[in-house]
Chain A
Amino acid sequence: MVENQSKADHVVNEDVRKIPLAIDPNLIRPLPSFVPPTNDIGSEDQLDNNTEQTPAASQSLINNPYETYGNLPLDKLIPIILQSRGPGSKFADLSEEALLEEIAKEPTQTHSIANGDIDIDMNDSEATGSAGDQILIPQPIEGTLNEDEENDMTHEQFQQLRKNAVLSLDLALNESSLALEFVSLLLSSVRPSAATASMSPFLKKTVPSASLNAEKVPYEKPKESEIMEGNLVTKGWKLRSLEESRLLMKETHKALELTVEREQNYWSKLSHYISRKDVVFRMKDKETGERTLGLKYGYEDSGSRYKQERGIAILRHEPKNNTLEIVPSETQQASALGRLNQERFLRVRIFNKIEEEDDYILSGETSLDELLIPSNNLAEEQDIRRQIARLQFFIFEKELMFHMKKEAANLISYGVSIENENKITVEFATEKMEFEMISLTDDIVMNRQQDAPKTNDKKARLILVMLRMLLVTMFKKQLKRNLVLEQKGESAPKNSPRSQNHEVLLLRPILGKFRHANYLDLLQNVVKTYVLDVVEGATLKDSTIEKTKSSDTFGEQGFDKHIVKLDREIKLFESILRKPRTYLTLLLPSAGEIEFGLESSNYCNASTTVKYINDSGTTLFNTKFSNFKELEDFLHFIVSEYVKENGTQV
């Protein structure tokens, strides 16, 4: 018993070190069991756990000295207290002052005693340690929970956490009910009725009411300085938060003001440069990912069916210079692919053949378009309209070349060859034309005016202009077709590529003109040699105008005015676009006449119809030649058979 007592002494002191209480719950073990105020946990279990002292399995309440202390009836508690204070002490001797003194002395005391008995100390620290763990557990719960939301929580982990949470809740509940009991008991001496209402039955049964008393502690009014301090802190916080809010607003204001300025700039530029005729739409800038506006500079809506390039640019605000930029969406992709210079223009060159040698000499070439020459004026250079015009120019030139190459592919037999993907050559008897796509480089821009003007410069320019106009006419035709179909309520049919090819009329009309002029020369030469030089008084006259009466009928009056307008504009080019034909009438004195018709079925070839009508008006011959040699023979034949004969007859 003495040993037990001394052990108890150590233990009590050890416990006190952690919790300022004079009782070791372990000591209660040999004593009769008690009923806890909350009856959710069996007392038997508690005892069992107590003896085992297993921290993991222990129900939180067991090791809590407060609990055991609170649960003890006073008649058992007081002897224990006396026991712990050593023999000879009396309960009546205990006073608040003495206890305070003891507590103040405690740390050193317990330390020395604890060293005395390691075994118990170990044992106990384990027990209290586990109690401490459990108190601390609620904190880690949150942390681990958050982490585990991301990583999958294993079932055991979850169970563990749940158990911990339940334990903490139990502990809290128990603590609070203990506090309630204590307050109730304290209150019972003053207001018994109010106190008994909140007492647990166990307390009522075991402890007589009004058995606990305490001195009244007067309410201490907070000191002036404390109030001051509190107010100061409050005001300080307030000021700080206001300051923070001010800073936040200021920063946001700055940022937003910048944005407003940028927007304002962007939109005022837009309204300045973008007219109602532009095709503008929302699109996403692939480079920056911003939502922005796109502008279509391609000619798709104008009747172009060029699909190699979409002709779409992004209207981007350049924050550095505060300017509006127009960036073709294709160049973004092209630069990503490493194809940088997309700026190409078509150049027409005319070479004349040197008679003796088999060589050509450059006799004319088109100059650089004004649009391509960089302006000295910076403002003009930044002009969006100019940039758009450039983009339109380049896409137009590309399309022109695209179609020309397609057309040229079928014209090899007429001296047209595609030298490479950027060059088409057309050869005639005495000259050669080159249509070449040239990359717009600085060199070209620099050297643009170095050469002296050449004789055929104008011709080259005229041909280039006509090529462009013919492409526009192609657009117009397409546009008209779409409009007519639209008016008829049909959707535009998807033309097959073949029919599309067929419609391309760029090189052929121009080429045809040259070839036709050559054929006409030939024909006239033939006629001159075989008829005019032989038959006296014979005259040749051009009857083309009589033969080709204009069939200008605006039969489409029922159509929309846009269609009519397009129609008229297309008809303007009829003289260029129609297959060349020339009619000549050879009047033979008193021997009738010969009508020649020089026609072409595909612009480039030539066939001659010859019709001989004799004096009396009967048609004796009406044939067709595609070979001038045969024509010569035939003319010779007619002249010798009919004309000469006739003449001698006369």
Chain B
Amino acid sequence: MSDRGLLEQLNRITDTLSRSLANLVKNSSISKEGDEDEHGNYNTPESAARTSTSGLMLVNAQTAQLIRGIQDLMVMTRTIREKWLLTQIPDENDESQLELDYKKCSQLLEQWEKEVLG
């Protein structure tokens, strides 16, 4: 995935997260909702049940969304890490440190010959 794609994904996820959190907070109030309903004439037990049921479902849905958003974020971090690890390029300078002393090497090889045969 490209950097831009990742950024867009990040924006999308944070958006969802904040939205669902806000919704959750909005829905979590108890007293206010009750007050409103008390003054309305339509506060039959059925309608109360209906609102509370839908509120319940909303809370559930938003919770699930919140969790999914976090999980998505984690998947994203993993993707980024993999990207980092897999696209590393060996450093040229690192390799040049192993400069051979050719003369010494050939001397050692000669010595080997003498030692083994001698």
Contact = CB atoms under 8 A, between A and B. Distances in A.
Interface string B50-83: 0111011001101100110011001001100110
A239 B34 CA distance: 13
A566 to B, nearest CB: 11
A271 B91 CA distance: 15
A234 B52 contact: yes
Interface string A246-266: 001100100010011001000
The DSSP consensus for interface residues of chain B is helix
Contact of A263 (B59, B66, B78, B85): B78
Contacts of A259: 74
Interface residues of A, number: 49
B74 A260 contact: yes
A513 B113 contact: yes
Interface in A512-544: 513-514, 517
A280 B90 CA distance: 12
The DSSP consensus for interface residues of chain A is helix
Nearest to B31: A235
A248 B63 contact: yes
A98 B72 CA distance: 70
Given A245-B60, A248-B63, A280 B51 contact: no
Contact of A256 (B55, B60, B74, B89): B74
Contact of B113 (A222, A276, A576): A576
A274 interface: yes
A137 interface: no
Given A245-B24, A575-B113, A230 B45 contact: yes
A438 interface: no
Nearest to A571: B102
Contacts of B44: 222, 230
A462 B115 contact: yes
10 contacts: A234-B52, A237-B55, A238-B59, A242-B28, A260-B74, A276-B89, A280-B85, A459-B115, A510-B116, A513-B117
Given A241-B60, A271-B85, A466-B116, 18 more contacts: A222-B43, A230-B49, A231-B38, A234-B49, A238-B30, A240-B56, A241-B55, A241-B59, A244-B60, A245-B59, A245-B60, A270-B85, A280-B86, A462-B112, A572-B102, A573-B109, A576-B109, A576-B112
Q: Sorted from nearest, which 9 A-B pairs have the closest CB atoms?
A: A241-B56, A234-B52, A245-B63, A230-B48, A237-B52, A276-B88, A241-B59, A252-B67, A234-B48
